[in-house]
Structure 1
Amino acid sequence: MQKVIQRAILLLFVISGFCLNTFAQPPSRVVRGVVTDEAGATLPGASVSVKDFRAATTTNSKGQYSITVPEGGQILVFSFIGMNPQEARVGNRTTVNIKLADANTNLNEVVVVGYGSIRKSDVTSSIASVGEKDIKNLPVAGLDQALQGKVSGVTITSNGGQPGGGVSVRIRGITSVNGVEPLYVVDGIPILTSTSSIAQDQLGGKAGQSSQSILSTLNPNDIESVDILKDASAQAIYGSLGGNGVILITTKKGKAGQGKISYDTYYGLQNVPQKLDVMNLRQYAEYYNSLIPEIQAASPGSTLNPIGEFADPSLLGAGTDWQDALFKEGRIKNHQLSFSGGNDKTTHYFSLNYFNQGGTILGSGFERLSSRIAIDHQVKSWLKAGVSANISRSDQKITLTDGTETPTTIVLYNSPATPIRDASGQFITTSSLGNNTFGNANGNPIATAMLRDVGAVQSKGFGNVYGEVGFMRFLKYRSEINYDFQLSQNHAFQPKISNSTTGQTILSPSKLREERNNSYYWALRNYLTFNNSYGKHSVNAVLGHEAQASHYDNQFVSATDLKQNIMSINAGTILPSGTNGNKGNWSMESYFGRASYTFDGRYSISGSLRRDGASSFGPNKRIGYFSAGSAAWTVTNEAFAKDWKFVSYLKIRAGVGSVGNQNSPVQNAYSTNIRLFSISPFGGGGVPANVGNPNLSWESITTQNAGIDASFLNKNLEVTVDIYKKTTTDMILSTTLPVFAGLDPNPPANAYKDIEPPVTNAGEMTNKGVDIGITSYNIQSKGFSWKTNLIFSKYKNKLVSLNSQSAILRGAEQDFTSASVVNITQAGGAVGTFYGYVTDGLFRSEAELNNGTDWGIAVGPTGIWLGDVRYKDISGPDGVPDGSIGSEDVTVIGDPNPDFTYGLTNTFQFKGFDFSFFLQGVQGGKIYNWTRKYSESLYDPFVNQLSSVLNRYSASNADSDMPRFVNRWHSNNTRNSDRYIEDGSYLRIQNISLGYNLPSKWLQPVKLSSARVYFSAQNVYTFTKYSGYDPEIGSFNKSVLTPNVDNGHYPTPRTFTIGANVQF
Structure 2
Amino acid sequence: MKKTKMKDGKHAFHPIKKILIMAKYTAFFLFIGLLQVSAGIYSQNAKLSLKMENVTILEVFEQIEKQSEYRFFYDSDLKDLSKRTTIESLDKPLSDILNEMFANTDITYKMMDRVILVQAKYSQLNTSGQQKKSVSGKVTDTMGLPIPGVSIQLKGTVTGTVTNADGKFSFSSIPADGVLVFSFVGMKAQEISVLGKEEISVAMSEETFGLDEVVTIGYGVQKKRDITGSIASINGESIENSSAKDLVSALRGRASGVQVVANSGAPGDGITVTVRGQSSLNSGNAPLYIIDGVPVETSSLSLLNGSESHGLNPLADINPGDIESIEVLKDGASTSIYGSRAANGVIIITTKRGKEGRANIKVNVYTGISKITRKLGVLNASQWRQIIIDSYKNLDAYNNATTPTEPHWTAIDSLNPMNSGDVDWQDVMYRTAQQKQVDFSVAGGTNGVKYAFSTSVLDQDGILLASNYKRITSRLNADFTVTKNLKIGYSFSFARSLNNRINAAGTGNISLVQSILVRPPIYSLTYPDGSPIYYFNGKRNPVGLAEACTHLNTTNRVIGNQYLEYDLLKGLKFRTNISLDFISMKEDEFYPTTVDYRIGYNTGAVRATSNLTWANENYLTYDKVFNKVHNFSALAGFSQQEWKLETTGLDGMYFASDNIRTLNGAGTISNQAVNTTVEHGLASFYGRLSYDYKGTYLLQANLRADGSSRFGDDRRFGYFPSASVAWRFSDEKFLDKPEFLNDGKIRFSVGQTGNEAIGNYTSQGEFALGTNYLTNSGAAPTVMPNAGLSWETTTQYDLGLDLTLLKSRISFTADAYLKKTTDLLFAVPIPETTGFGYITQNIGDIENKGLEFSLVTHNLTGKLGWTSSFNIGLNRNKIISLPEEVLTNGYIQNGTYHILKEGESIGTFYGWKFLGVYSRDEDNINQVKNGSSNGKLFRGGDPIWDDLNGDHIIDANDKQIIGNAQPDFTGGFNNDISYKNFTLNVFFQFSYGNDIYGNINMMRNWVFAYNNVSTDALNRWRKQGDVTNYPRPIRNDPLGNEYNRVSDRWIEDGSYLRLKNVSLSYNVPTGIVRKLNLRGIKAYITAENLVTWTHYTAYDPEVSSYSGLQLGVDDGSYPQSRTFIFGLNVEL
TM superposition score category, shorter chain reference: 0.7 to 0.9
Distance 1:424 1:687, change over 3 A: same
Q: 1:897 aligns with which of 953, 963, 966?
A: 966
Task: Give the C-alpha shift of residue 364 in structure 1.
Answer: 1.3
Match of residue 619 from structure 2: 527
Letter of the structure 2 residue corresponding to residue 890 of structure 1: K
User: Within the alignment, does 1:344 sit opposite 2:443 as a pair?
Assistant: no
Is the radius of gyration larger for structure 1 or structure 2?
2
Q: 2:753 aligns with which of 640, 644, 659?
A: 659
Kept in 1, the 8 Å contact 2:849–2:877? The answer is: yes
SS in 1 for 2:315: coil
Kept in 2, the 8 Å contact 1:672–1:689? The answer is: yes
**How high is the TM-score relative to the length of structure 2?**
0.81
List per-residue Cα deviations over 1:123-149 (Å, max 9, x = no partner): 100011110000015443310101100
CA separation in 2, counterparts of 1:266 and 1:991? 16
Match of residue 874 from structure 2: 794
List structure 1 runs of 4+ shifted beyond 6 angstroms. 32-35, 63-70, 79-82, 86-102, 306-313, 808-812
User: Within the alignment, does 1:958 sit opposite 2:1026 as a pair?
Assistant: yes
Distance 1:62 1:557, change over 3 A: farther
Mapping of residues 413-812 of structure 1, within 5 Å: 413-428=518-533, 440-497=537-594, 505=597, 509-534=601-626, 535-565=628-658, 566-641=660-735, 643-664=737-758, 666-677=759-770, 682=775, 684-738=777-831, 740-741=832-833, 755-781=836-862, 783-804=863-884, 807=887
Mapping of residues 185-584 of structure 1, within 5 Å: 185-192=290-297, 194-198=299-303, 200-201=305-306, 206-209=307-310, 211-291=311-391, 293-299=393-399, 300=401, 301-305=403-407, 319-404=422-507, 405=509, 406-428=511-533, 440-497=537-594, 505=597, 509-534=601-626, 535-565=628-658, 566-584=660-678
Kept in 2, the 8 Å contact 1:429–1:506? The answer is: no
Kept in 2, the 8 Å contact 1:429–1:505? The answer is: no
Distance 1:226 1:92, change over 3 A: closer
CA separation in 2, counterparts of 1:826 and 1:997? 57
**How high is the TM-score relative to the length of structure 1?**
0.86
SS in 2 for 1:841: strand
RMSD over equivalenced CA pairs, Å: 3.5
List per-residue Cα deviations over 1:801-836 (Å, max 9, x = no partner): 1222753786774xxxxxxx2122222211132121
Kept in 2, the 8 Å contact 1:997–1:1011? The answer is: yes
Match of residue 1006 from structure 1: 1076
Distance 1:311 1:426, change over 3 A: closer
CA separation in 2, counterparts of 1:69 and 1:996? 30
Kept in 2, the 8 Å contact 1:30–1:68? The answer is: yes
List per-residue Cα deviations over 1:1010-1061 (Å, max 9, x = no partner): 111100000011111111000111132xx21221111121111110001122
Task: Give the C-alpha shift of residue 452 in structure 1.
Answer: 0.4
Task: Give the C-alpha shift of residue 289 in structure 1.
Answer: 4.9
Distance 1:1058 1:190, change over 3 A: same
List per-residue Cα deviations over 1:664-697 (Å, max 9, x = no partner): 2x44111121022356994633211011000001
Return 5+ residue gaps in structure 2 as ranges: 1-129, 142-149, 162-169
Distance 1:656 1:758, change over 3 A: same
Kept in 2, the 8 Å contact 1:370–1:392? The answer is: yes
CA separation in 2, counterparts of 1:571 and 1:262? 49
CA separation in 1, counterparts of 2:171 and 2:604? 60
Kept in 1, the 8 Å contact 2:1105–2:1114? The answer is: no
Q: Which moved more, 1:669-678 or 1:999-1008?
A: 669-678
User: Within the alignment, does 1:130 sit opposite 2:234 as a pair?
Assistant: yes
Question: Size of the alignment, in residue pairs?
Answer: 971
List per-residue Cα deviations over 1:45-98 (Å, max 9, x = no partner): x999xxxxxxxx99438697999999xx9x999589995367999999979999
Distance 1:229 1:468, change over 3 A: same
SS in 1 for 2:1036: coil
List per-residue Cα deviations over 1:369-409 (Å, max 9, x = no partner): 11111111111111111122111111111110222221210
Match of residue 831 from structure 1: 906
CA separation in 2, counterparts of 1:797 and 1:293? 49
Distance 1:240 1:496, change over 3 A: same
SS in 2 for 1:215: helix
List per-residue Cα deviations over 1:596-619 (Å, max 9, x = no partner): 111012110011001111101011
Kept in 1, the 8 Å contact 2:1005–2:1017? The answer is: yes
User: Within the alignment, does 1:1045 sit opposite 2:1113 as a pair?
Assistant: yes
List per-residue Cα deviations over 1:599-647 (Å, max 9, x = no partner): 0121100110011111010111101110100011111111244641232
SS in 1 for 2:248: helix
CA separation in 2, counterparts of 1:670 and 1:691? 8
Match of residue 946 from structure 1: 1014
SS in 1 for 2:245: coil
Task: Give the C-alpha shift of residue 857 in structure 1.
Answer: 5.1
Distance 1:86 1:356, change over 3 A: closer
Letter of the structure 1 residue corresponding to residue 406 of structure 2: L
SS in 2 for 1:324: helix
CA separation in 2, counterparts of 1:61 and 1:461? 40
Task: Give the C-alpha shift of residue 887 in structure 1.
Answer: 1.5
Match of residue 501 from structure 1: none
Match of residue 748 from structure 1: none
Task: Give the C-alpha shift of residue 306 in structure 1.
Answer: 9.7
User: Within the alignment, does 1:865 sit opposite 2:939 as a pair?
Assistant: yes
Match of residue 1057 from structure 1: 1125
Letter of the structure 2 residue corresponding to residue 785 of structure 1: G
Mapping of residues 981-996 of structure 1, within 5 Å: 981-996=1051-1066
CA separation in 1, counterparts of 2:723 and 2:924? 64
Distance 1:309 1:791, change over 3 A: closer
CA separation in 2, counterparts of 1:308 and 1:448? 22
SS in 1 for 2:545: helix
CA separation in 1, counterparts of 2:570 and 2:191? 21
Task: Give the C-alpha shift of residue 363 in structure 1.
Answer: 2.3
SS in 2 for 1:972: coil
SS in 2 for 1:418: coil
User: Within the alignment, does 1:1033 sit opposite 2:1107 as a pair?
Assistant: no
Letter of the structure 2 residue corresponding to residue 945 of structure 1: V
Task: Give the C-alpha shift of residue 925 in structure 1.
Answer: 0.8
Task: Give the C-alpha shift of residue 290 in structure 1.
Answer: 4.4
Distance 1:306 1:553, change over 3 A: closer
Match of residue 286 from structure 2: 181
Q: Which moved more, 1:89-98 or 1:535-544?
A: 89-98
CA separation in 1, counterparts of 2:1032 and 2:186? 63
Distance 1:580 1:79, change over 3 A: farther
Letter of the structure 1 residue corresponding to residue 215 of structure 2: V
Distance 1:381 1:68, change over 3 A: farther
Distance 1:742 1:840, change over 3 A: farther
